Structures are given as structure tokens and as C-alpha cells.
Chains A and B, each alone.
Chain A
Amino acid sequence: MNSAIEMTDVAWRAGGSFEVKDLSLRVPTGSIYGFLGPNGSGKTTTIRMSMGMLKPDRGTIRVLGRDVPRDMPKVLARVGYVPERPHVYPALTVREQVRFHASFFRLWDAGWADELSERLGLDPERRISRMSKGETGKLLMLLALSQRPDLLVLDEPTDGLDPVVRRDVLTALLDYVSETNATVFISSHLVHELERICDWVGVMDDGRLVVELPMQAFKNGIKRIKVADAPAVPEEPPFTILSRERLNGAGSETWIVRGWQDPMRHYFDGAGIGLRDVVDLDLEEGFVELLRSSRPTPPYRS
């Protein structure tokens, strides 16, 4: 099976105005797939559907080759999940919580759990209600990794944690992936962190999957272009113009384009437009520009 998660034409509606539509998403096996999107775009809903907690109104979902939510318990035995809100019992100690969790997973690796516990600096006798957000985050990752899953579904695992904790949690994750080639599906607002570790990126906006590309292709494809003598309607460019902004200077504009490839420079010669500069955007800038272009222009932008 070459996709760890495969969603086809999935739709889901809450009953209010929010809905997920035409969602077709593929997480290749062995990849680290970064799932980006503004709050309320449907990321957590999508993650919950992949975990069988929500049933889609339409479409099919397959996780690790099995139908979801029909074969859910079998699938969940091989999926490590870190949810948005911690799902550990506050009144238990770390040791008791680990023992509880471990009893459900046949492949549980107690040695690895102990090693992680030490590496992450978790005190087994500490009560969870007394733990800081960072310690709880570390515990959740420990629980997910010690199951020895084939797939990790992580919903904002490091958001809101301090940099030291984030580093510890990420290195534990990467260590595990090095050893096992597990697939990781991670959603986060920490775009720079995702930029380091992800080889695929998917962007959600307003209930739709707007982009799904290998990380490099996405980054290389979005550019900020400075042009001169730009006409009001440029003739059929080979790339998509996401937005245009006029600069001072006749006909000088900044274009944000998508789907750029280097040979497209020649288009400008043919169209009689002066190409002044092609500027690379990092993942965060590309992501922001991509989303900004899909929203109505605010009044202060010329």
C-alpha cells in the first residue's frame, strides 16, 4: 500500500454553516506530511475523520490500507495519535497513565517508553494534573511513540510549547522515524518547524484542500516577481497569478505567482513585460500569500 492515509471525495457537514467538501487527500507511506491551514479551516475535522471519530457524509477514507471507520479498532492498533486537547487522566500519575495506555497495545515497547521517559525528563510519580503544558506534550508523544505505530497522526503536538520542549519532542519523533520509516501526518501552526521536517505539504482553507504537493515543489513554485510595464490583463501566463500589487513607478508591479518554473522567464519577453526580479518565498510566506490571494482584498491594499 503506497498511501498511509487516502481520502477520496470526502464531504462532511456539521449542521451549521461549516462543511468540508471535495476532500481528496493522500499521505504517501513513509513520508512526513505537513498539514497547514488557518484555524477553522477543517484540519482537526479531517484528522478526526481519519481517526474514525467522525463519519464522513460522502466519500471514502482508507488508513493503512483499511476502510475507516469500519475497521477502526484494527487500524487504531497501528496508529499513534496526539490530539489537540490532551487525552490523559489528570488524576493519574505518569506511571499509572503509561500502564493504562500500554495495556491496550500488543506491540508496546516498554524499554523504549522507559528510555523516552528518561530522555524527555518525565517523572513517573508525578501527577498529571500538576504537570506543565510542556510536560504533558512530552507525555503524549511518549505514549504515541511507545505503541510502535506505523502511522503517527499529530494534531498540533508542539504548538504552545517552549522551544526546548519542542526540540525534545521533535527529536524523539525523528529518532523513531529514522528507525522505523513510519509515516507522519502532522498538523501545526509552526510553519518553520514543518519546513524542516516535512517532505509533503497539504494546505486546508475553508473546508477545502487547496494544495497538496511535495514540499520542494510547493516552495519552488511560489515566487514573488517584480515586473515593469505590466498590462492590465496579461496574456495567458503559464503560471497562476495569485495577486498583483502596484508599486510606485509606471507599470511596476509585484506579482505573487504559483506554479512557477524557471523556463517561464521567456514568457515575459514574448509578452513585452519587463521581468525585474524573481524572489524566493519560504514556506510561511508562500502559505500566507496563497491564502491571502483567496480572500477578498482588504481596502488598504492598492
Chain B
Amino acid sequence: MFDDIDPRSPTPLYEQIAARVRMSVAAGDLGPGDALPSVRALARDLRVNPATVVQAYRDLAADGFVELRHGQGTFVQEVPTFVREEERAAQATKLVRTLLQDAARLGISVEELARALNVETGVEIRE
């Protein structure tokens, strides 16, 4: 789940970690009651500052994705369907934004992008 954490990215590491957890929950890979790795273990495995993991978990708790049970660990909460859908939509928007930015940098138009998407997926893209 955390394999592609990129310290060099401008996105803060705690955000990246939290985003991974959110996506896993949204995709159904993590269910209610599942335990997240302990702060100590995750910091050690990813070789990041433990404070980073703490912040990620706190953000997730604030958004209602996990519950921090003192002394026991961090556990995934039951997340309503619409929240999961929102998360998926947000991730999709982020991917598209990146794609559009990169395309603009290379001077590729939206039409050309749509055409390529069409070819790759067989899904008709309407503007």
C-alpha cells in the first residue's frame, strides 16, 4: 500500500500516507476494524519521521476514516458509501489535473488527449 511514497514530491509525506489509506478504504481493500501499522512500525518501514506518521493518522481520524485507540493502535472506521465515492472522485480529479498539466507543458491539446483516451479505453469521451 505504501510502496510508492515519494519523499521528493512536493506533496508532504503525511499527506501521501493519508491519501494511500483513504484510497485503500475507498477501494474496499481496508475494511472497518482493520488495524493500520503502528506508528513505530510504519515509520521504521518507510524510514520516515514518526511525527509524519502521527500527523497522517491524526488527519485520517479528523476525517473520520480511522479511530485512534490509545494504547491499542489505529483502526479503520466504517465509512459511509458517499464518502468513499467522494474520495474516488477526488483522486480521479487529481489524476486528471496532473495529466492536463503535463499535456499543457508538452503542448498537447485536450482533443488529442481525448482521442488517445478513446483509443486506449474504448470509452467515448465527449467534451
Contacts and interface: CB of A to CB of B under 8 A. Distances in A.
B50 interface: yes
Nearest to A32: B49
Contacts of B50: 174, 177-178
A193 B7 CA distance: 9
A132 to B, nearest CB: 22
Contacts of A282: 7-9
Contacts of B105: 277
B7 A196 contact: yes
B39 A196 contact: no
A183 to B, nearest CB: 11
A83 B62 CA distance: 42
A22 interface: no
A179 interface: yes
A284 B47 CA distance: 18
A284 B8 CA distance: 9
Interface residues of B, number: 18
Among A177, A199, A284, residue most surrounded by chain B Cβ atoms (within 10 Å):
A199
Contact of A30 (B7, B47, B51, B52): B51
Interface string B91-127: 0000000000000010000000000000000000000
Interface string A206-226: 000000000010011000000
B48 A192 contact: no
A273 interface: no
B60 interface: no
B73 interface: no
* Majority secondary structure of chain A interface residues (helix, strand, loop or mixed): helix
Nearest to A219: B10
Among B39, B51, B52, residue most surrounded by chain A Cβ atoms (within 10 Å):
B51
Nearest to B104: A277
A170 B43 CA distance: 10
Contacts of B43: 174-175, 177-178
Interface residues of A, number: 26
B12 interface: yes
A154 B9 CA distance: 26
Interface string A276-298: 01001011100000000000000
A198 interface: yes
Contacts of A197: 47-49
B13 interface: yes
Nearest to B55: A199
Nearest to A277: B105
B109 to A, nearest CB: 16
B12 A216 contact: yes
Given A179-B40, A277-B105, A171 B47 contact: yes
Given A170-B47, A177-B50, A195 B7 contact: yes
A167 interface: yes
A220 B11 CA distance: 9
Among B7, B13, B105, residue most surrounded by chain A Cβ atoms (within 10 Å):
B7
Given A174-B44, A175-B40, A196 B13 contact: yes
A196 B12 contact: no
Contacts of B40: 175, 178-179
A175 B44 contact: yes
Contacts of B12: 216
Given A171-B44, A178-B39, 7 more contacts: A175-B43, A178-B50, A192-B7, A196-B13, A197-B47, A197-B48, A220-B10
Enumerate the 10 nearest inter-chain pairs by beta-carbon distance, A residue then B residue, closest first. A282-B8, A280-B10, A178-B40, A178-B50, A196-B7, A195-B7, A171-B44, A197-B49, A174-B43, A216-B12
